[in-house]
Amino acid sequence: MKLFTGPLSMFGAKAQIALLEKGLAFECVMVPFDRDDNYEPKHPEVLRVNPKRQVPVLIDGDVELFDSTQIFEYLEDLAPTPPLWPAGAAARARARQLELKSDEVYFPHVVKLFGLQHDMQSPAAVAACGACARFHEVLDRLLADRDYLAGAYSYADIAFYMAHVFADRKGAGMTEGTPRLVAWRDRVGARDAVREVIGAMMGFLASAGRPVPAFLQQHLRT
């Protein structure tokens, strides 16, 4: 099994964490990355498998996947233990919706901030940060009666953890106004699989002279 990803790929990191949580043997192939946040030159296997020309790409024999959510589903079918979706149709549906919202509702606001780092006081940047903050508040309320977003630790936690890492890097991090979400962040961040992946990512940032979020600087010393 091969996972093609990149040192600063949020979606690739999701897949890599999932593979580690499942205890599956795989080769991690890091594709080139340049200072303009592009994966250049494009790896030939990425180009062959993914019409979107992006990582992650997972190849397992004749199975070739290129979407992190589809990779999640494949891994759950391939290795049901330990489970990373909750039991029961309703609980799984809620967890899947949370994972979708992380990728398709929350993260697009973060993406807007990528091009606004030079003017974080602009109306567009303020609006994007505000949208992220409101999302944080919703999840903080959700955590009032549970330790993880969907009850037990799941793909929903992996997805939002990685999305919020990029939000923090771009100026839309958590605050003391969402204490339960901050505590959740610490619980997820303490997991071995998450530490391995996020540690390598933060090391890459530091080696390139880029800032590392304060709550992740501990990984530079491990």
Pairing status of strand 57-60 against strand 63-65: antiparallel
pTM (2 d.p.): 0.94
| Mean confidence (pLDDT) of the chain | 93
Most confident range (mean pLDDT) of 37-51, 74-88, 200-214 is: 74-88
Task: Determine the Cα angle at 36 with ends 33 and 40, to 5°.
Answer: 35
The residues facing 28 across adjacent strands are 3
Tell me how far apart the alpha carbons of residues 222 and 200 are, in angstroms, rounded to a whole number: 10
CA end-to-end span of the chain = 28
Query: Which residue's structure tokens are 């003017």?
Result: 119
Confidence of residue 53 (pLDDT cuts 50, 70, 90): confident
pLDDT tens for 3-52 read: 999 999 999 999 999 999 999 999 999 987 665 656 666 788 888 988 88
